[in-house]
Amino acid sequence: MPKPSADFNHLNIAALESRRAEDMARLIERHNGTAHVSPSMREVPIDPNRDAIDFAYRVMTGQIGTMILTTGVGFRYFLKAIERHLDKQRFLDSLSDITTICRGPKPAVALRDVGLTATFRVPEPNTWRELLQTIDSHVPIANQNVGLQEYGVTNASLIAGLEARGATVEPVRVYGWEFPEDIGPLEANVQSIAAGERDVLLLTSAHQIVNMLRMAEQLNMVEQLRRGLQSTVIASIGPTTTQMATECDLHVDMEPSHPKMGHLVTEAAARSEALVNSKRRLQVIVKSKGDSVTRHPSHNSLFMRACRSEATERTPVWMMRQAGRYMAEYREVRAKQSFLELCANPKLCSEVMCTAVDRLGVDAAIIFSDLLPILVPLGFELEFVRGDGPVIHNPIREASDVSRVLPLDRPEELDFVYETVRQTRADLPETMPLIGFAGAPFTLASYAIEGGGSRQYSNTKKLMHEDSSAWSDLMSKLSDAITVYLNHQVAAGAQCVQLFDSWAGCLSPADYSKFVLPWMKQIIAGIDPSVPVINFATGNPELLPLLRGDRRTVVGVDWRISLDVAWQRIGHDCAVQGNLDPTVLLADRDVIRKSVADLLQSVGDRPGHIFNLGHGILKETPVEHAIELVRSVKELSAR
């Protein structure tokens, strides 16, 4: 929840809000920000709108079976466009006879204002994905003419999704987005962002992004604006706006817990100083490596192409915990030092991983490390106890304990991990992608609160339900630290990163959505946009649709659900990783090969599949069986 003590600490805050520009400026100033609010657009009706009039006649003559309303303002403009040319009440009566789908509350209110009730209302966050899910659950549209009242910008993904379901889509554009009549403030804001004079940019609409870039083009300074935005924290009000930013190759750093202006400003104020510092530290790292951006030699590897859902000659394969106790080489190294000592030795970490990669013949490497060392600079006393695993000696047990959790102000305290990335990257073949990783915030919070592993997570859930403010504070600190940590791994040489949420399966979808999902969105949005992000949570297949993140996110799937069913739930536009049961590797080679064949057959030749286990390799696994799995994937998936 937003915290009233949030403070911008006099940072320069840009916003492009138009309708509520004065409200936005007051909110920023109330939180001690220096407000630079420049209206970026005005809605312009298309008049006369012959297409809207023709469409209304098609509704009245029974030629449209379903109508999708995307905005309340747009529906009202639509009625204004047609009311002078035909019988408005007859049109409304005809509209009441067909299926109407409203993308959120505002178009539903607009319908209610004229005496109609929406047949279906799309749930939050009201993106095109939820719209398509609503259709899949409730509205068969095959062989139907579907009317789509659009924004000013056509949503190609939505139209493609409707057409894939067998519909003939009839878009109706009812207004355009033009520049405001006074473009001076917008010009000044664009110039200031380009010059690096704004610390934070608040976005409350997808069309603000379009008009900001249009203005930059008009000023002949698109590249300067993009460079300025690289060091500006971008806060988006929600997924639809974030999607537009992503499509425009802009990197969103945070979304609020709820898609409201008040939440956006308050939560941005609470986190802006840390985000600004983190983003500028990352820029220093990037600049120190040189300003020119070149693709890594692994960019066109099977693994990286599958992450991007591109077609591959065969399915890429790697395995979680592929360097571990099942290998004699690892046991020999491990016998000479404690686990934490091994994790702190980059050369040995690289050695055990490169040995595993060579023996198995996998298509990607993951750094050898652990989820928990990140907790040490945050103030936790961590020890790995033989037979008991990780133990936190000063766990959080009361809400007041959260105050002693430190921010990751000195990410260099984890330099042994970044050096492991650098060393492993140097020791691997250049064409082999390297994966960095971190624990997800819920799993780290569970360790920090329980003091170790748990079966019930009773202390974690107690704090989560009992004190939402303390929980949000803890998740905020962990999420900020994870984002900084992963970005430093990318800067050190990782081509991909994975988030491990080992304990998220203990949560219901409702609790995950409320207590975890906002922070996962924040982390994914904050990770360097040049790398894929694998989001892996175990234990509850009902969480899968919530894991898909942004368009470069790969969803990791455990073995508790068939991969073809999982992929359907997630959405076939998203790449997936998984999901053979690790115990299959304890069986003989014929069983392994048949299990691989069955899994590959279940997903067919659809691009975007990375073969992996549904969890890490078990310590009892014969090395030869792991090698057989890799060999089988390579042979059986060849196209």
Q: How far is CA 57 from CA 11, 49, 62, 64, 371, in A?
A: 53, 13, 9, 10, 61
Closest CA to 103 of 129, 79, 76: 129
Residue tagged 């300067």 (tokens): 224
pTM: 0.66
Distance between CA atoms of residues 469 and 472, nearest Å: 5
Cα 547 → chain centroid: 8
The pLDDT value given to residue 71? 81
CA dihedral 433, 438, 440, 441 (to 10 degrees): -150
Question: Where is average pLDDT lowest: 128-137, 297-306, 489-498?
Answer: 128-137
pLDDT tens digits, one per residue of 253-270: 888 888 899 999 999 998
Coil vs helix vs strand at 398: coil
Averaged pLDDT, 352-371: 96
The pLDDT value given to residue 290? 47
Kindly state the percentage of the chain with pLDDT values over 90. 71
Confidence of residue 410 (pLDDT cuts 50, 70, 90): confident
163 within 8 A of 142, measured Cβ to Cβ: no
Distance between CA atoms of residues 218 and 271, nearest Å: 33
The pLDDT value given to residue 624? 97
The pLDDT value given to residue 228? 92
Q: Which two tokens stand for residue 550?
A: 């942004």
Confidence of residue 1 (pLDDT cuts 50, 70, 90): very low
Task: Tally Cβ neighbours within 10 Å of residue 536.
Answer: 25
Longest Cα–Cα distance of the chain, Å, equals 86
Cα 233 → chain centroid: 17
pLDDT tens digits, one per residue of 422-446: 999 999 999 999 999 999 999 999 9
Residues, the chain: 639
* Paired residues of 391 in beta bridges: 383
Closest CA to 177 of 49, 15, 18, 25: 18
DSSP state of 167: P
pLDDT tens digits, one per residue of 439-472: 999 999 999 999 988 888 999 999 999 999 999 9
The pLDDT value given to residue 562? 97
| Residue 285 pLDDT > 60 | no
Kind plus residue range of the DSSP H or E element containing 164: helix 156-164
pLDDT tens digits, one per residue of 132-186: 989 999 999 999 999 999 765 567 778 988 998 999 999 988 767 789 999 999 9
pLDDT tens digits, one per residue of 566-605: 999 998 889 999 999 999 999 999 999 999 999 999 999 8
Residues noted as catalytic:
321, 325, 334, 370, 447
Cα 574 → chain centroid: 11
Dump the DSSP string for 609-627.
EEEEESSPPPTT--HHHHH
pLDDT tens digits, one per residue of 535-566: 999 999 999 999 998 888 999 999 999 999 99
pLDDT tens digits, one per residue of 115-143: 999 999 998 777 788 899 899 999 999 99
Count how many Cα atoms sit within 13 Å of the Cα of residue 178 in the half-sphere of its side chain.
8
Question: Where is average pLDDT lowest: 43-57, 134-148, 337-351?
Answer: 43-57
Radius of gyration of the chain (CA): 26
Contacts of residue 192, Cβ cutoff 8 Å, sequence gap at least 6? 12, 14, 36, 198
Tell me if the bond preceding 125 is cis, omega within 30° of 0.
Answer: yes
The rounded mean pLDDT for the chain is 90
Averaged pLDDT, 392-413: 92
| Residue 289 pLDDT > 80 | no
629 within 8 A of 585, measured Cβ to Cβ: yes
Residue tagged 């609020």 (tokens): 256
